[in-house]
Amino acid sequence: MIAGMSYPSASGEEVPTVDRERLQALQRITDAALASLSVEQLLQELLIRVSEVLGTHTAAILLLDETGSMLHARAAKGIEEEVEQGVKIPVGAGFAGRIAARRRAIAIEDVDHADILNPILREKGIRSLLGVPLVVEQRVLGVLHVGSLVHRVFTDVDRDLLQLAADRAAIAIEHATLYEQRRLAEVLQRRLLPTELTVTGGLELASRYLPASRESLGGDWYDAFTLGSGHVAVAIGDVVGHGVVAAAAMAQLRTALRAYAVEGHAPATVVELVNRLMTGLGPNAMTTLAYAVIDPERGTLELVTAGHPPPLLIRGDGTTFLDGVAGIPLGVSDVARYDSHTFPFEPGTMLLLYTDGLVERRSEPIDRGLERLAALAAGNDDAEILCRKLVAELVSGERLDDVALLAARLEPVPERLSGRWPADRRVLAGVRRLLRRWLEKVGASADEVYDIVVACQEACANAVEHAYRPGRHWFELDASYDQGRVRVTIRDEGRWRPPRGSHRGRGVMMMRGLMDSVDIQHTDSGTTVVLERILAPESA
């Protein structure tokens, strides 16, 4: 039997009978000082003030979880065990559960004879209870209740006062929760997107991510990484939805894509495997994707898309949307098939991947947005400048959707090749590919390319191995071609170490065997190796 009374919610109504002092005390609950508190601190402070104003011994706040079916004790005063023990009350059951379900205040005069789920309330010796719902814009956020250790009849004034406190508190809780979610989400997103796009092999990369104005975060993401084959993978995607759920799906998607790609699967297979994984993650994992693998040496681009706007190719003044490749979004059907299409991607060409936030505007067909994008992109030959321009021209300050873009441009092979790299074994493969492209351009035959690349790698590997002293070390490579003669200079800052062991010195021997001339100069500031080879006339 319920020994209590129910009141209709007094939310939003005037409270004429409350004395001025109590009302003022209550109004402090939402004063500016509370705005800077975290959710936990805010709730704690709120309970202290409510207890003071109403003269109660206990106070507690329970908030609904993401499912909306369970109340979790989040803050308590006088009955701290509620929070410590992680009390959960199903909506509709018990004292707090009924308040949430009926969206109205409930008072219980005598706890001993009431339907109470939470044993802590009884164990603490609470005799009388009063609780009200926390409501914002018709949505129930949770329940605020106060208790007395001595028998007490809560009056209409008490009830109205508590509801007034609850109404104001609900707004503050909503704001603080949103703020915390946003902050968490932003940190998460920053950690999920690559901080630095460093891909060698003659590919210039630039990217932007701009979250939607009013959302905590979106599901847009991009990635770029090298595959062992010397190919470069670039990807962009848009996970449906916003907030932490979308961010979590995005993190799983990005990791899965990298893992499958690095395993060496073909692009279409990578997308099919990712799709199967996303389908298994449940209904919230729908996402669009554009995935491209660039082969800088062959000058090709292999593309797979899944429900994503068509990537744009920019070359000189011309632009081409790579459409006609479309598959359905990921996470819709686990038997969906995806096909890849290969396009020429010559040096000087730029690929632009973007999400729909860049081209979509309200009350306008998407074709207009695509036209505008193509017109702005035409004639651009710098990835960083293109990104800056597109954001300035197409992205407004008040964004409804988040925007991500990634531009990749295959740099034309220069007349004279020169560059500087960290003295790290892992950069050798990238340097090799760059050198290969350059040698092919100056007309070296396949065998000559191989020999010269091996000889140069010996010098580069020496530079890497000399850099044993602490700190970051670099080496430089400069390659020029003049009248049939290839000349490559490799310079490092390391001090020469005399060859040790049976293998040391084999590198030098091989350089001499492969090149027409090898000159090695050691000074205090470093080592310089100059390699020369005269190309055979028929290939020059």
Task: Give me the least distance between CB of 135 and other proteins, in Å please.
Answer: 56
Distances (CA, A) of 513 to 12, 449, 454, 485, 508: 91, 14, 11, 17, 9
Spatial CA neighbour of 253 closest among 230, 217, 226, 220? 220
Report the residue from 133, 219, 309, 507 that binds other proteins according to the rule CB under 8 A. 507
Among residues 30 and 539, whose Cβ is nearest to other proteins? 539
Residue 497 interacts with other proteins (CB under 8 A)?
no
Report the residue from 45, 160, 238, 451 that binds other proteins according to the rule CB under 8 A. 451
| Rounded-to-integer distance, Cα 146 and Cα 167, Å | 15
Report the residue from 513, 516, 517, 519 that binds other proteins according to the rule CB under 8 A. 513
Residue 461 interacts with other proteins (CB under 8 A)?
yes
Residue 428 interacts with other proteins (CB under 8 A)?
yes
Residues 175-204 that bind other proteins (CB under 8 A): none
| Rounded-to-integer distance, Cα 330 and Cα 325, Å | 14
Among residues 378 and 428, whose Cβ is nearest to other proteins? 428
Report the residue from 70, 117, 245, 429 that binds other proteins according to the rule CB under 8 A. 429
Kindly indicate which of the ranges 129-137, 190-198, 424-432, 528-536 contains the residues binding other proteins, using the contact rule CB under 8 A. Answer: 424-432
For residues 67 and 78, the answer to whether their CB atoms sit within 8 Å is: no
Kindly indicate which of the ranges 80-88, 273-281, 407-415, 504-512 contains the residues binding other proteins, using the contact rule CB under 8 A. Answer: 504-512
- Cβ of 261: how many Cβ atoms within 10 Å? 24
Report the residue from 464, 477, 488, 490 that binds other proteins according to the rule CB under 8 A. 464
Residue 517 interacts with other proteins (CB under 8 A)?
no
Give the end-to-end CA distance of the chain in Å, rounded to a whole number.
101
In the chain, the amino acid numbered 2 is I
For residues 458 and 508, the answer to whether their CB atoms sit within 8 Å is: yes
Binding residue count for other proteins, defined by CB under 8 A: 31
Residue 262 interacts with other proteins (CB under 8 A)?
yes
Among residues 211 and 507, whose Cβ is nearest to other proteins? 507
Residue 458 interacts with other proteins (CB under 8 A)?
yes
SS3 label, residue 306: strand
Residue 20 interacts with other proteins (CB under 8 A)?
no
Show the beta-strand stretches assigned E in 460-525: 474-482, 485-492, 517-523
SS3 label, residue 362: coil
Task: Give me the least distance between CB of 456 and other proteins, in Å please.
Answer: 10
Task: Give the pair of three-digit tokens for residue 517.
Answer: 């001339």
Which residues have C-beta within 8 Å of that of residue 517, sequence separation ≥ 6?
530, 531, 532
| Sequence-separated contacts (24+) of 521-526 with Cβ below 8 Å | 522/495, 522/496, 524/495, 525/493, 526/491, 526/492, 526/493, 526/494, 526/495
β pairing state of 300-306 and 326-327: parallel
| Rounded-to-integer distance, Cα 179 and Cα 185, Å | 10
Residue 503 interacts with other proteins (CB under 8 A)?
yes
Report the residue from 28, 122, 425, 497 that binds other proteins according to the rule CB under 8 A. 425
Kindly indicate which of the ranges 106-114, 265-273, 399-407, 510-518 contains the residues binding other proteins, using the contact rule CB under 8 A. Answer: 510-518
Among residues 109 and 458, whose Cβ is nearest to other proteins? 458
Among residues 142 and 494, whose Cβ is nearest to other proteins? 494
Residue 11 phi, psi (nearest 5)? -55, 125
Residues near other proteins (CB under 8 A): 226-229, 262-264, 425-426, 428-429, 432, 446-447, 450-451, 453-454, 457-458, 461, 464-465, 502-503, 506-507, 509-510, 513-514
